[in-house]
Amino acid sequence: MQFQFGIPCQVTFGNGAVKNIGQVLSELSATKVLLIYDQGVEQAGIVDKVKSYMEENQVETVSFSKVVPNPPDTILNEGAKLGRNEEVDGIVAIGGGSSIDVAKAINILLTNPGPINQYDGINMVKNQTKPLIAIPTTAGTRSEATSITVITDTEKKRKMVIGGRHCGADIALVDPELTIALPPSITAATGMDALTHAIEAYVSKFASVPSDVNALKAIELISNNLVEAYKNGNNLEARHNMMLGSMLAAYAFNSALLGVVHAIAHPLSVYCGLPHGVANASTLPYVMAFNATDEHVQYRHRDIARHMGIEVNNLSDAEASYKAIEAVKSLAEQVHIPTLSEAGVRRDQFDILAEATLNEEISIMANPTDVSKEDILDLIETAYVGSDVKDLKYVQSPLRK
Ligand SMILES: NC(=O)c1ccc[n+]([C@@H]2O[C@H](COP(=O)([O-])OP(=O)(O)OC[C@H]3O[C@@H](n4cnc5c(N)ncnc54)[C@H](O)[C@@H]3O)[C@@H](O)[C@H]2O)c1
Ligand SMILES: [Zn+2]
């Protein structure tokens, strides 16, 4: 058996980890850095905190705060120009996947010619980039743990996945305390995104022993802690476990890749403006049910059920798989993930969404079962109305009890 597995960056994990930023920068001989973040992170007071730790170590900062969710290619040139004019010798990204992805893309443009779109794909970036330190503030995407950046190509209306060499962060300071102020709706969406990463990686065609180990531990941590983090954001233990779980999920999908949930989610964000995590969570149980028409997937869902705390010893693989799907749907409901109709998606958008999903080649390729345009339209319709698992046509009738 042959597989590839990589963890792209060195991590310091734990409460207070962010206080190491000054020391980390001085070890890298960085004296003037481009600080990249968005308004939400700034308003949460996190940027000022990080800046003060850097000032204690005499590190100069230049700020770029124009990051927005599902970041478009149009914001990158300004950030890269700022970094070049100010002759920065490093980058610090503070935020969720959007801020860290923008930082990775700007870092590429500091030492490689633009536009960014020419690097869409794997190992397209040729020149070495500057040191990038990532400080994640969501327990979701965890871009610092992957060697890809996801940027929206505004002309082609698709999310580019730029990955491979020179597309990662060098060092991550992962501090669960930074997620305490994360509002419940963002905790829910980003947490369900992380669960989707783990589940899609676990059933992926490219799953391997190391990605499996990370995915299953991630499923356990996230399913045991998401509702508590959502309801009681101050619970540091739940925040800690969500931060750890989402990191392990990213380790899993960085090598095993994702699947049809993410293939549908990207167009849902581009065409309908859905937050990434909501887009994933709304279709996850339905794609699981679709994939479970394959017996191998049912067998894998059995492990997922077990790691979600479900007793499966006396169940067939099909029954255990059904329980896992029900548990995932219930988790999404407990954290109030909307249906696609509640999220504002319109029926007249279904066709363009299905067409665009088929163009998400990497995720379609990694999915354990083949999917047609008709299947995708059906999955979108099911997520639009928020069907019960027992009513799904993919679920065999003896299980519907
Ligand atoms: N690079 C990768 O490996 C990878 C993989 C999958 C998806 N993505 C991309 O990552 C993006 C999603 O990232 P995300 O889900 O982490 O969210 P995000 O970065 O888009 O942030 C979501 C919201 O949370 C706010 N926020 C973040 N941290 C906060 C905090 N501590 N307190 C208060 N508010 C806070 C932000 O201001 C923002 O409004 C999408 O564009 C997605 O396509 C990247
Ligand atoms: Zn995701």
The β-bridge relationship of strands 148-153 and 158-163 is antiparallel
CA 90 to chain centre: 24
Is ligand 1 within 6 A of the CB of residue 148? Answer: yes
The pLDDT assigned to 230 comes to 98
Distance 396 CA to ligand 1 centre (A): 37
Which residue among 36, 37, 41 has the greatest number of ligand 1 atoms within 8 angstroms of its CB, and so is best to mutate?
41
| Secondary structure element (H or E) that encloses residue 161, with its range | strand 158-163
Is ligand 1 within 6 A of the CB of residue 163? Answer: no
The mean pLDDT values, 10 residues at a time, for the chain of 401 residues are 85 96 92 97 96 92 96 96 97 97 98 96 96 97 92 94 95 97 97 98 97 98 98 98 98 96 97 97 97 96 98 94 96 98 98 97 96 97 94 70 50
Distance 141 CA to ligand 1 centre (A): 7
Is ligand 1 within 6 A of the CB of residue 137? Answer: yes
Residue with token string 């969500």: 242
The pLDDT assigned to 107 comes to 98
- Which residues, in sequence order, are bridge partners of residue 33? 61, 90
- Which residues, in sequence order, are bridge partners of residue 63? 35
Q: How far apart are CA 390 and CA 289, in angstroms?
A: 10
The pLDDT assigned to 391 comes to 86
CA 183, 187, 189, 194: dihedral to nearest 10 degrees?
Answer: 160
Residue 173 half-sphere exposure toward CB, CA atoms < 13 A: 22
Alpha-carbon dihedral sign for residues 372, 374, 378, 381: positive
Q: Does the bond joining 115 to the residue before it have cis omega, within 30 degrees of 0?
A: yes
CA 366 to chain centre: 16
Q: How far apart are CA 90 and CA 83, in angstroms?
A: 9
CA-nearest residue, atom 41 of ligand 1: 70
CA-nearest residue, atom 3 of ligand 1: 143
Q: Nearest ligand, CA of residue 188? A: 1
The pLDDT assigned to 398 comes to 55
Is ligand 1 within 6 A of the CB of residue 96? Answer: yes
Alpha-carbon dihedral sign for residues 389, 286, 373, 367: negative
Model pTM score: 0.95
The pLDDT assigned to 75 comes to 97
Is ligand 1 within 6 A of the CB of residue 70? Answer: yes
Is ligand 1 within 6 A of the CB of residue 176? Answer: no
